[in-house]
Chains A and B, each alone.
Chain A
Amino acid sequence: DGGITQSPKYLFRKEGQNVTLSCEQNLNHDAMYWYRQDPGQGLRLIYYSQIVNDFQKGDIAEGYSVSREKKESFPLTVTSAQKNPTAFYLCASSMGRNNEKLFFGSGTQLSVL
């Protein structure tokens, strides 16, 4: 089945620790995105990538980093600089430039110990 796979489903971070969230897609989509979801705040864009080896900051990129070395993979690192990392993180992809439909993964819940 084609789709987007996020792992792990639950992740815990200690103070001062960097953690990496995985996102893999087999839909052959060019564009990939990372969103952060907090209760009552909807989805906020962290980073996006329209093509391999290129990515752009979204609205809340501080404290996060990404890479796009392969078309199917777009991992997100939550660094120790992100002071409030507890949230539900969603990865998405879309087919082309017109952004007519986003396909979402099932999310990763990150919590701070």
Chain B
Amino acid sequence: AQSVTQLDSQVPVFEEAPVELRCNYSSSVSVYLFWYVQYPNQGLQLLLKYLSGSTLVKGINGFEAEFNKSQTSFHLRKPSVHISDTAEYFCAVSGGRGYQKVTFGTGTKLQVIP
């Protein structure tokens, strides 16, 4: 079984400040890890993914995440946020190669304050 925990349901941050959105996962096998972003009343789009290799993954819109196997974490970071980053962010995990179900966390709403 696999699961994802996003402890922060909401994160307010001032514009141009750095932000970190936390994600912890559990899985009995090797994993693929993802961050998706959802703007209001829309579907989700992929920000970045970790499949293998370098543990620091860079995505779109200046976001990056670091895979930490010992802490089973995949936190999302951005050094300077913009108003346009206001959205809900979902961490997700799947069990790796071959068809595996994708399990999503409960989401973190990032509110950027002008």
**Minimal beta-carbon separation of A110 from chain B (angstroms):** 14
A residues contacting B by CB (< 8 A) are 4, 6, 31, 33, 35, 40-45, 48, 50, 58, 90, 92, 97-102, 104-107, 109
A107 touches B41 (CB 8 A): yes
| Complex CA–CA separation, A44 to B103 (angstroms) | 8
User: From B94, which residue of chain A is reached at the shortest CB distance?
Assistant: A99
- Determine chain A's interface SS by DSSP, over half rule: strand
Assess whether B43 is in contact with A105, with CB atoms less than 8 Å apart.
Answer: yes
Q: Is the pair B42, A106 in contact by a Cβ cutoff of 8 Å?
A: yes
Instruction: List B residues at the A interface (Cβ < 8 Å).
Output: 4, 6, 9, 32, 34, 36, 41-46, 49, 51, 90, 94, 97-107
Q: What are 20 of the A-B contact pairs (CB < 8 Å)?
A: A31-B99, A33-B102, A40-B9, A41-B106, A48-B101, A50-B99, A92-B44, A97-B97, A98-B99, A99-B94, A99-B99, A99-B100, A99-B102, A102-B36, A104-B43, A104-B44, A105-B43, A106-B43, A107-B43, A109-B41
User: Chain B's nearest CB lies how many Å from the CB of A85?
Assistant: 18
User: Which residue of A42, A58, A107, A109 is within 8 Å of B101 (Cβ)?
Assistant: A58
Closest to A43 in B: B104
The answer to whether B32 and A100 touch across the interface, beta carbons within 8 angstroms, is: yes
- Establish whether residues B49 and A42, one from each chain, have CB atoms under 8 Å apart when the complex forms: no
Across the interface, B98 reaches (CB within 8 A) one of A45, A97, A105, A107, namely A97
Asked if A42 contacts B106 (CB within 8 A), the reply is: yes
Collect the chain B residues with CB atoms within 8 Å of residue A45's CB.
101-103
Shortest C-beta distance, A87 to chain B (Å), equals 14
Distance between B31 CB and nearest chain A CB, rounded to angstroms: 11
Nearest to A9 among chain B residues (CB) is: B41
- Inter-chain contacts of B104 with A (CB < 8 A): 35, 42-44
